[in-house]
Amino acid sequence: MLGKTTRLITKGLTHQRKQRRAPMCDFERIRYELKPCDIILVEGRSRVSEVIKLITQSPWSHAALYIGRLHDIEDPEIREQVTQHCDCSPDSQLLVESELGMGTVIRPITVYEKEHLRICRPRGLKYQDAQQIINYAISRVGVEYDVRQIFDLARFLFPWRLLPRRWRSSLFAKGAGRTTKTVCSTMIAEAFNNVQFPILPLVKTNTADGRVQLFRRNPKLCAPRDFDYSPYFKIIKYPFIDYSHHASYRLLPWHGNIPLDNEEADLYLSPGESENSLVAIADNEIALPPKKPKGNPH
């Protein structure tokens, strides 16, 4: 009974909104740009994605680790593990990710062809460390997705004094060790922690001698937005329509006769009403009170 209930909840949480008619980014340029150990951020369209975005106050709900093609993996045993877990061609561009309903899996990057993506590249990562990160991530394939950790993260964001003890976060309740479940960002953060690469470390200074020390963050507290925010990752964007290929952003195709549907019309301005609407809104906001009649008051 519990298994059936879990499957129903999982199905509801993974239900996807419809895709955009046109993508936000240029997938082909992203594919060409990717290097092993890049982090791919995904906006996400499922219900659980909306929960994660609400909790973390970020547009990014999912993170995946790009591991390259089979020949990019140095260890032959690790390459063999990949072929066992993923039925793909040697030329397929692969990523490791933890997804609700699937657990930690290896999939081709083409599953995100229509999605809004961003690349976060670790600055100055050494080749051997990159191989260790990839090996760690592949070793986690098959581990279940930890839904509870999402809600633990939500509870952790509330002040402790406002919650009954039984509702408080259990993120730190258990000792450190190899867990049997994970979420996308935690798995990736553990892989980078394995080679001591920083994501969002705590920086403290010794008041006596001025020396600086870094403290690694608990991987369970890592969210997709942290890779975007981290100063140790380079952000790479390729918009679907890139004004760097035009003489000016003013020459972008703002005008045309493509209509907006009802939902889009609430969020976007059509070319004909854009200026008038903004002026009308401004006029309403700065409307002056009526003038008082002249003359001496009685």
φ, ψ at 12 (rounded to 5°): -65, -40
User: Which residues have a Cβ under 8 Å from the Cβ of 166 and sit 6 or more positions away?
Assistant: none
User: Which residues have a Cβ under 8 Å from the Cβ of 54 and sit 6 or more positions away?
Assistant: none
What six digits make up the tokens of 241?
């329509």
The answer to whether the pTM exceeds 0.85 is no
pLDDT at 40: 96
pLDDT at 172: 44
Single-letter amino acid, residue 237: K
What six digits make up the tokens of 3?
């298994």
How does 135-152 read in b/e, with b if 16+ C-beta sit within 10 Å?
bbbbebbebebbbebbeb
Nearest to 57 by CA among 254, 223, 245: 223
What six digits make up the tokens of 200?
């969002």
Q: Could you give the dihedral angle defined by the CA atoms of residues 252, 257, 262 and 264, in that order, rounded to the nearest 10 degrees?
A: -10
Neighbours of 222 (CB within 10 A): 25
Single-letter amino acid, residue 162: L
How distant is the alpha carbon of residue 257 from its chain centre?
34
Using one digit for the tens of pLDDT, what is the confidence trace for 82-141? 999 888 888 999 999 988 767 889 999 999 998 999 999 999 999 999 999 999 999 999
Q: Which residues of the chain have pLDDT under 50?
A: 1-2, 9-13, 15, 160-161, 165, 167-178, 298
Tell me the H-state helices in the chain. Answer: 2-13, 27-33, 47-56, 76-85, 127-139, 147-156, 184-193, 224-229, 262-265, 274-285
Nearest to 137 by CA among 89, 193, 175: 193
